[in-house]
Structure 1
Amino acid sequence: MASIPTYTAEQFAQAFLNLLPTGKAWPKETESNLTRTAAALVPVYVTNSHSAGNLLVDTFPSSTIELLPEWEASLGLPDECQGPAPTLQARRAQVVARFIDSGGQSLQHFIDIAAALGYPITITEYEPSRAGAMRAGQPLMAEGMQFVMRINAALLNIRHFTAGSSTAGEPLTSFGNDVLVCELTRIAPAHTRPVFSYT
């Protein structure tokens, strides 16, 4: 894959001067007013060129920085799930989770959404106890247990500050399962009762 071309202020200034007419009215020596004017104008072009190159990376929700507010607004974020001061990584993870959420109700769908949020989980389903369907020694389950979905997750899901992914001002370490609980409770089918179990 070819790298995104980047140009320096000097290259932009030279290109700017090369596009101007030639002759005594257009002096292009280093100390001329025309060259100094070109040098004063080119930082804007450098910034715009950088932003245009970053747009290729910024378009994708998993790597976005500048377009993150637009992604969030498109997906109904930020919301109460993220809490008061989410990290850049957590915000992007929630955008990706919302983006890939196709509305499925399979256990794998919930596992995939949790993984996109950065939480490895398993899910346990239950069945109510029934005569004839049980073996000796099995625990009795109450009526309605078929609607319980136990989500097994780590007690402390730790996220570390990562150079290149985190931003200045973020904590070096963050942890907690509030986003997991909020997001999975939000998308759980109406007839189910998600219960969270931490190990």
Structure 2
Amino acid sequence: MDMGSDQIDSFAIAGELSKPQGTPQKSIVGTIINAVPPAYSEADYLTALQSLLPTGRVWPRDPNSTQVSVLSGLVPSIARHNVAANNLLIDAFPATTYQLLAEWEATLGLPDPCAGEYPNLLTRRSQVLARFCGVGGQSISYIIAYASALGFPITITQYAPARIGACRVGQPVNSQDWAFAWTVNAGVTNVQKSHIGYSYAGQPIQSFGNEILECAIKEIAPAHTIVNFSYKTS
């Protein structure tokens, strides 16, 4: 099976989007996100609210007054909205989304059975990223990039039927059916680790297994082919 070697630029863009915060990131439209959004403290918002009040003896600014205590109870909510608004641009991209992850999944037809019964945050985000950037293809480079977006480094082996004059001693004598077979080579057990800022309480520190890889590859494998999986023994 000739799977070609076309390049998938969308996965390269996804790699740019998944860089750590603080590194200038190139968005899909080519804009450099380098500006720092304003971040105001609760004290800043308390001062702002007090500045909107009338002046006079019945509008005290004394920190121990009842009025200031009431305002102090309101500003934490405003400050949280400020943080959420600042994170919206980061949250809007599939490689870094958290609050909008469920919306991304609904848009892309996820979660699917490949993720298992209780997928962790990184697994869900990886599936969103792979599905979002997976514009479709049957080439080796596309399938490798798709698996990489899911967090699985792989290689692919292709086969060909045995032909007189082309085979050497010791090579397998493949039948015509082997023209439609290919093998995904991966590690014996894939390990996905939790990361600070990308994981949440209750999520396993590490997860193991290749079920997601096999399920996802079978979903995108050309229909006329047979895909096999080979795992390293050491």
TM-score by length of 2: 0.80
Partners of 1:32 and 1:130 in 2: CA distance: 93
Match of 2:194 among 161, 170, 174: 161
| Residue 143 of structure 2 is aligned to residue 110 of structure 1 | yes
Matched position secondary structure for 1:69: helix
| Residue 93 of structure 2 is aligned to residue 42 of structure 1 | no
RMSD: 1.6
Counterpart of 2:45 in structure 1 is 12
User: Given that residues 94 and 125 in structure 2 are in contact (C-alpha distance below 8 angstroms), is that contact kept between their aligned partners in structure 1?
Assistant: yes
Aligned length: 199
Partners of 1:135 and 1:102 in 2: CA distance: 39
Aligned letter for 1:3?
V
Return the structure number with greater relative CO, CA threshold 8 A, min gap 6: 2
Counterpart of 2:121 in structure 1 is 88
Matched position secondary structure for 1:146: helix
Match of 1:64 among 82, 88, 97: 97
Matched position secondary structure for 2:222: coil
Match of 1:97 among 122, 127, 130: 130
Counterpart of 1:119 in structure 2 is 152
Matched position secondary structure for 1:141: coil
User: Given that residues 122 and 194 in structure 2 are in contact (C-alpha distance below 8 angstroms), is that contact kept between their aligned partners in structure 1?
Assistant: no
> Which residues of structure 2 form unaligned runs of 5+?
1-33
Matched position secondary structure for 2:68: helix
Counterpart of 1:190 in structure 2 is 223
| Alpha-carbon distance, 1:74 to partner | 0.9
**C-alpha deviations, 1:52-78, integer Å up to 9, x for none?**
011121111111111111111111111
Larger Rg: 1
Matched position secondary structure for 2:64: coil
Match of 1:173 among 193, 196, 206: 206
Partners of 1:183 and 1:116 in 2: CA distance: 11
Partners of 2:72 and 2:181 in 1: CA distance: 67
Counterpart of 2:6 in structure 1 is none
Runs of 4+ that moved beyond 6 A: none
User: Given that residues 46 and 75 in structure 2 are in contact (C-alpha distance below 8 angstroms), is that contact kept between their aligned partners in structure 1?
Assistant: yes
> Which residues of structure 1 form unaligned runs of 5+?
none
**C-alpha deviations, 1:61-120, integer Å up to 9, x for none?**
111111111111111111100001211111111111111101111110000001011111
Counterpart of 1:131 in structure 2 is 164
TM-score by length of 1: 0.93
Matched position secondary structure for 2:86: helix
Aligned letter for 1:77?
L
Matched position secondary structure for 2:87: helix
Matched position secondary structure for 2:190: coil
| Alpha-carbon distance, 1:25 to partner | 4.4
Match of 2:88 among 20, 36, 55: 55
Aligned letter for 2:76?
P
Partners of 2:170 and 2:115 in 1: CA distance: 43
